[in-house]
């Protein structure tokens, strides 16, 4: 996991990498991979239920909000439409309750998304949290190809050009996944992106140590959330400074249980001040980078219109995977 915060210097890392490529190391790696085949298969067996390959459609990672930058280069994501069971579960969503929304989003991911990498087994839990909503939207579009769920949104232009030209652009439109604007990582962060490691690498000026950080996966986030819940139930003190940064430094959800998280937390107490400041600043930037907007170009003035989703009068979270039925339709 990227939780190994203090990384070995470049030269040493290169040596380790070279050693890894030796025939003995490769043979050992192969033996290890073969050994874990059974448990790994068991681990993943329950995640795709009754999948029929014909129904699975490839979702190119380049279209995701993260543009696939934080996944292995050979990752393959496929999705299928939601069936009755997923739609029934979705209908129980309580839009005012973050936990309920989280649970329903993950339920649909588990049932309707496959993530594969030829080099290693992956699952829906490896999806970056910021990509989750976009993927749910694509599943909604597969489920209701004719827009039966009526995801209507009021787009209005507030640009000065439009306002002064008379009547500003205003229209109720059908929302599509192509309009979704979820993350906007600015240059100050992107300059740390390492295309080989598929994550961000920041080198501390004072210690020279490298800090690796990534975008939280659904798997890591949900384990951390459940760990916070456990602490709440036990009325234990909650180390918010750690929870703020931990989703960005833990890259793997496998083996991440309450004990592993606690061990990391204790380790984090030994981080130096420089590292804490870096990590905290990064977490702040990331939080600001994530939004949930509909975006389009104003047809009147060509400026960009951004509208936050789930405004009053627009479609709701529940509408994404359900067909609105009036009482009149039932009688
Ligand atoms: Zn305009």
Output the CA 167–ligand 1 centroid distance in Å.
9
> How many angstroms does the Cα of residue 133 sit away from the middle of ligand 1?
27
> Distance, CA 140 to ligand 1 centroid (Å)?
29
CA of 181 to the centre of ligand 1 (A): 18
Task: Please say whether the beta carbons of 78 and 113 come within 8 A.
Answer: yes
Q: Which residues surround ligand 1, an ion (CB under 5 A)?
A: 157, 159, 162, 169, 298, 300-301
Dist. CA 287 → ligand 1 center (Å): 28
pLDDT confidence tier of residue 53, bands split at 50, 70 and 90 = low
Q: How confident is the model at residue 22 (pLDDT cuts 50, 70, 90)?
A: low
Task: For residue 249, report the distance from its CA to the centre of ligand 1, in Å.
Answer: 41
For the chain, the residue count is 331
pTM here? 0.80
* Residue 163 CA, ligand 1 centroid: distance in Å: 7
Instruction: Encode pLDDT of 158-172 as tens digits.
Output: 999 998 988 899 999
How remote is the CA of residue 314 from the centroid of ligand 1, in Å? 20
Q: Would the pLDDT of 55 be above 80? A: yes
Between 124 and 30, the higher pLDDT residue: 124
What spacing in Å lies between the alpha carbon of 28 and ligand 1's midpoint? 62
Residue 274: the pLDDT is 80
pLDDT of residue 44: 44
Q: How far is CA 209 from CA 4, 12, 62, 247, in A?
A: 11, 13, 31, 20
Q: What is the pLDDT of residues 244-300, one digit of tens each?
A: 999 999 988 999 999 999 999 999 888 878 878 888 888 899 888 998 999 999 999
DSSP secondary structure of 153-172? EEEE---HHHHHTSS--EEE
The answer to whether the CB of 211 falls within 8 A of the CB of 279 is: yes
Residue 51 has pLDDT above 60, yes or no: no
Confidence of residue 157 (pLDDT cuts 50, 70, 90): very high
Distance of alpha carbon 179 from alpha carbon 89, whole angstroms: 26
Q: Model confidence over 170-204: pLDDT tens digits?
A: 999 999 999 999 988 888 889 999 999 999 998 87
């Amino acid at each position: 996991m990227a939780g190994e915060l203090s990384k070995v210097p470049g030269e040493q890392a290169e040596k380790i990498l070279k050693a890894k490529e030796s025939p003995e190391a490769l043979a050992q790696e192969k033996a290890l991979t073969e050994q874990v085949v059974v448990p790994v298969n068991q681990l993943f067996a329950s995640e795709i239920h009754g999948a029929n390959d014909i129904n699975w459609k490839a979702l190119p990672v380049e279209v995701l909000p993260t543009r696939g930058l934080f996944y292995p280069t050979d990752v393959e994501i496929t999705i299928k439409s939601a069936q009755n069971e997923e739609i029934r579960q979705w209908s129980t969503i309580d839009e005012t309750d973050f936990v309920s929304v989280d649970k329903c989003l993950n339920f649909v991911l588990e049932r309707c998304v496959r993530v594969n990498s030829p080099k290693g087994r992956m699952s829906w839990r490896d999806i970056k949290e910021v990509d989750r909503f976009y993927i749910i939207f694509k599943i909604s579009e597969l489920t209701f190809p004719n827009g039966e769920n009526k995801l209507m949104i009021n787009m209005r232009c507030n640009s000065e050009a439009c306002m002064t030209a008379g009547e500003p652009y205003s229209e109720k439109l059908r929302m599509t996944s192509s309009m979704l604007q979820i993350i906007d990582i600015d240059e100050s962060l992107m300059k740390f992106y390492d295309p080989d490691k598929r994550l961000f690498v920041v080198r501390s000026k004072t210690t020279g140590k490298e800090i690796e950080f990534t975008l939280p996966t659904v798997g890591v986030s949900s384990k951390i959330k459940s760990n916070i819940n456990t602490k709440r139930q036990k009325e234990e003190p909650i180390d918010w400074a750690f929870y703020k940064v931990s989703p960005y430094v833990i890259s793997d959800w496998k083996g991440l249980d309450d004990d592993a998280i606690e061990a990391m937390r204790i380790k984090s107490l030994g981080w130096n001040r420089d590292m804490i400041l870096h990590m905290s600043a990064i977490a702040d930037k990331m939080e600001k980078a994530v939004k949930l907007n509909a975006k389009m170009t104003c047809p009147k003035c060509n400026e960009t219109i951004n509208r936050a989703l789930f405004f009053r009068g627009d479609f709701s979270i529940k509408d994404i995977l359900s067909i609105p039925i009036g009482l009149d339709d039932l009688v």
